[in-house]
Amino acid sequence: MTVSIGTRIAALRTDPAMSLLHRSLDVYYGDAERDARMDAFYSRFVTSGDLVFDIGSHVGDHIGSFRRLGARVIAVEPQPLCLRALRAIYADDDQVTLVGAACGAAAGSTRLHVNSANPTVSTASSDFVLAAHGAGGWEGEVWDADIEVPVVTFDALIHEYGVPSFAKIDVEGFEDEVLAGLSRPLPVLSFEFTTIARAVAYRCLDRLTALGFDGFDVALGDIKSMTFQRWVPANDMAAHLLELPHQTNSGDVYCVSRNGVATT
């Protein structure tokens, strides 16, 4: 008999080896209303049979949404503890492929700065760690360990698995490096931005424009709701991100290419 994801999550919550992820499991699993909002939001981009890349999967709540929508998911995550959790949660799902690596500009390896108390903000960007130091809303965050992790490029993932219909990138200030390893447009992708590292978002917008993306919208925080409700040019998006107050903290920019989805 197949074990349900809920049962697997419950087992992880009681596993002492997973203690550093218990907070994330509590936040990202078990909220049916949140799941429904995610599914409704992503259904405009993801349909049954699609291929989706989830770059920076953490404990996999977005994998769950994409799977509920019927997509095949390539999940990229460099943190060993998160990978252990993902393997446990999606062990019986042959439509989820786990890639234990960071995604970056060139294949090889990099140092991952691990925040043991809050693994969701672990990052391969030393600039991100410096930007967080002393910043409002980031008090008490400590990156207390460095580990060497392999790096795979976006292009290599496409070569191995195919062109995704949608890609989500959430890698804590390393998003521009991920996009530096992409050499073609996709129908739609999203990248996370933070107000402590806006320059990263501007570099992402420049890179995406050069690749042929020409429509942008943004959802702030964890609320799955578009700000503009239409695709705007990159310069309008850059101006909007610049004007956001520091307290906004983060959000996700959604980007469409000329051959992508035309409505939000």
Domain borders along the chain are 32-82+97-257
Which residue's structure tokens are 């699609």? 50
Tell me the whole-structure pTM to 2 decimals.
0.95
> What average pLDDT does range 207-226 have in this prediction?
95
Binning pLDDT at 50, 70 and 90, where does residue 259 land?
low
pLDDT digits (tens, 9 = 90+) for 37-72: 999 999 999 999 999 999 999 999 999 999 999 999
Q: Cβ neighbours of residue 10 under 8 Å, at least 6 residues apart? A: none
CA distance 109 to 203: 22
CATH topology of domain 32-82+97-257: Rossmann fold (3.40.50)
Looking at residue 36, its pLDDT comes to 96
The b-or-e profile of 110-141 (16+ CB within 10 A means b, else e) is bebbbbeeebbbbbbbeebbebbeebeeeeee
CA distance 218 to 214: 14
